[in-house]
Chains A and B, each alone.
Chain A
């Protein structure tokens, strides 16, 4: 399979549109690599370490394995993207990190926030971290905001629950936060209700709420999925700006590979509750070493390419039920390289194909070599 990445666009392909009214074009951005973190010592600090996280639900039909043995590390100022389709376990996994799942969920593994295991903490202890040190931005801002309270109240509440000094709806801090996320007339807006905000504004208000306590980690679950592309661009810009300012680490959960390509440093691809590939954003996009990641990238219609008549690549079949997972590799019934007697028997471990680039495939090394050949 060839994932064409024949290179950078011709220079001068970008006409400078001078946006005197629109905001200026975004500055050049380089994903942070391991070297960056080594160079600046303080950046090499892992904030969140998830080890062997599994989530299981008991259903009438049997055990539902929503997340299986997921491990990742999030460093300071880093943005990690978790990519996957519906039902791949990306949302459940992040809810488990925050202890937001219902009691019926059986969560095992470790979630270390600055070395302390969140899963072993009491609920009371966890509350001092959740919303303050680790904040969450949800997909559906209208559902996540309370319709009967003013937006300013809700942002003030996020601060008040973690503080002894209580602030009011239009406190300076609330107004500052709204201003920071780019809401015009923040003072008036703080006194309005969620229904008076547009979709993009609501998502900004949610972000304002999440950063109210200067969190170390922001978990954003599909924060732009419900938004139009021009509004999505505004919101992604807000994330970038607040990360520059607050130095937070961001865990971005999304199904949109375009968003991931633009804003993350590293990504983790999930399939059927398992981690199938992890690496820097360039590693995974240009040298995908798992058949699912390869197929996913190849099946995308491209905005930036002429099609020349060819059909889209299609991954055959459907994602499996999480209750009746196929034996061996969960992707084997859909995989073009699956080997009978191996892939449908043994579940592949994550193997390192290059430094910090992992793939859970029996043929990971071959696939990796294959992408190298395709590049040169």
Chain B
């Protein structure tokens, strides 16, 4: 069971025999849009080791069989609460961490099977922006070096890099004269712009944005969201936008995927998911988000879920949401609901899905 090489860890026996992938139905895609990224049955199990020999005694099922596509020039918003696996998913897609199983295909090429050379080329075309603009920039490097680093790796000449960095800084709304400064001399919003400039430096086609505006104040957040939209229009970028803020995602995303405990429970066009939410979890999540409108707030019906999210090391059998669901019946514990269109207009993983207007 223990392989000394870097082979991905074998998924340990799960206490309840829940299938990790919920079938191989074609991943959801917006009709008429050419996909740039296709994710199928992606699984990540982090091994839990214990004892003197550090044997694998269990596994945290962080991402368990998710499938979706990202259309060229489009934004897929991935929402869910802490621990639902959305950040892990983002890292898996870029192969920053190895997947346990499944496939990720970028413009028809299998990302998970790439050799080191191919992977390097892929990294120029697919980039990531991290949440924390304080932790993701090296404090000892100047902004010019930070933004130019991907270009250095790509083998650009020093002069070309200098020109490109200036152009990039202007593009993201920073003063190009400030290239010699260090990250601590910038505010949170400006740092996030530095992170974005670095990510788009190699002219990528796909950006994974992992909570890019969560750490920012409201008045600063709007500027960064607008910048991301401008860049998308100008450079034809495709985004995987990971966030827990459902309002921001509604604003920016074309397609929204709702995750719960490692699985996508509902996916569809943003308007559909927000206005015709069909999975009980989506409904609870949306109804829990406070709206900045006092009259609406007074009239809203709030679905307050009981308890907390179960541990991904020992998820419930069948439907993972059943322990907190008010609709749950025996069937939910026995059979895992597959993510398919059940007549709601978009795929939903619930045996008793039903459209409800909750906002």
- Which A residues have a C-beta under 8 Å from some C-beta of B? 5, 8-9, 13-23, 25-26, 28-31, 85-86, 184, 198, 200-201, 228-234, 236-237, 255-262, 281-282, 285-286, 295-297, 299-304, 306-307, 311-315, 318-319
Contact = CB atoms under 8 A, between A and B. Distances in A.
Contact of B305 (A234, A257, A286, A302): A234
A294 to B, nearest CB: 12
Contact of B291 (A26, A86, A261): A261
B36 interface: no
Contacts of A200: 308
A319 B296 CA distance: 30
B251 A302 contact: yes
B117 interface: no
A299 B248 CA distance: 11
A256 B271 CA distance: 24
Given A8-B296, A30-B298, A259 B303 contact: no
A285 B357 CA distance: 24
B293 interface: yes
Nearest to A282: B294
Nearest to B326: A21
A19 B291 contact: no
Contact of B219 (A14, A237, A299): A299
B294 A14 contact: no
B304 interface: yes
B291 A31 contact: no
Given A229-B288, A299-B221, A312-B225, A23 B301 contact: no
Nearest to A228: B81
B164 interface: no
Contacts of A260: 292
Given A255-B218, A296-B218, A313-B222, A261 B306 contact: no
A232 B268 CA distance: 26
Size range of the chain B interface in the assembly: 35 or more
B295 A230 contact: no
B284 A230 contact: yes
Contacts of B328: 21
Interface in B57-104: 81-82
A262 B356 contact: no
B314 interface: no
A233 B291 contact: no
Given A261-B292, A285-B294, A306 B300 contact: no
B337 interface: no
Interface of B: 81-82, 187, 189-190, 217-223, 225-226, 229, 244-248, 250-252, 271, 274, 280, 283-308, 324-328, 356-359
Nearest to B219: A315
Contacts of A262: 290-291, 294, 297-298
Given A17-B326, A85-B218, A302 B303 contact: no
A257 B218 contact: yes
Contact of B295 (A22, A282, A301): A282
B288 A233 contact: yes
A178 to B, nearest CB: 15
A260 to B, nearest CB: 8
Contacts of B283: 17
A128 to B, nearest CB: 36
A25 B190 CA distance: 41
A38 to B, nearest CB: 21
A42 B301 CA distance: 31
Contact of B304 (A8, A237, A306, A312): A237
Nearest to B298: A29
Contacts, number: 185
A256 to B, nearest CB: 7
B218 A16 contact: no
A261 B293 CA distance: 6
B326 A300 contact: no
B266 to A, nearest CB: 15
A258 B359 CA distance: 13
Contacts of A312: 222, 225-226, 251
A307 B251 CA distance: 6
B357 A13 contact: yes
A72 to B, nearest CB: 19
B292 A25 contact: no
Contacts of B327: 21
Contacts of A304: 291, 293, 296, 359
Contacts of B251: 301-302, 307, 312
A285 B325 CA distance: 34
A303 B302 contact: no
Given A261-B293, A301-B247, 11 more contacts: A21-B324, A21-B326, A229-B246, A285-B294, A300-B292, A304-B359, A307-B250, A311-B226, A314-B219, A314-B222, A319-B219
Contact of B289 (A17, A237, A303): A303
B293 to A, nearest CB: 6
A230 B81 contact: yes
Contacts of A13: 357
A8 B299 contact: yes
Contacts of B305: 22, 230, 233-234
A307 B221 CA distance: 16
Most chain A beta carbons < 10 A, residue from B244, B274, B302: B302
A196 to B, nearest CB: 12
A200 B308 CA distance: 8
A230 B294 CA distance: 19
A67 B247 CA distance: 31
A257 B325 CA distance: 29
B301 A26 contact: yes
13 contacts: A21-B327, A22-B303, A25-B304, A26-B301, A229-B244, A229-B285, A233-B304, A255-B217, A301-B248, A303-B246, A303-B274, A312-B222, A319-B219
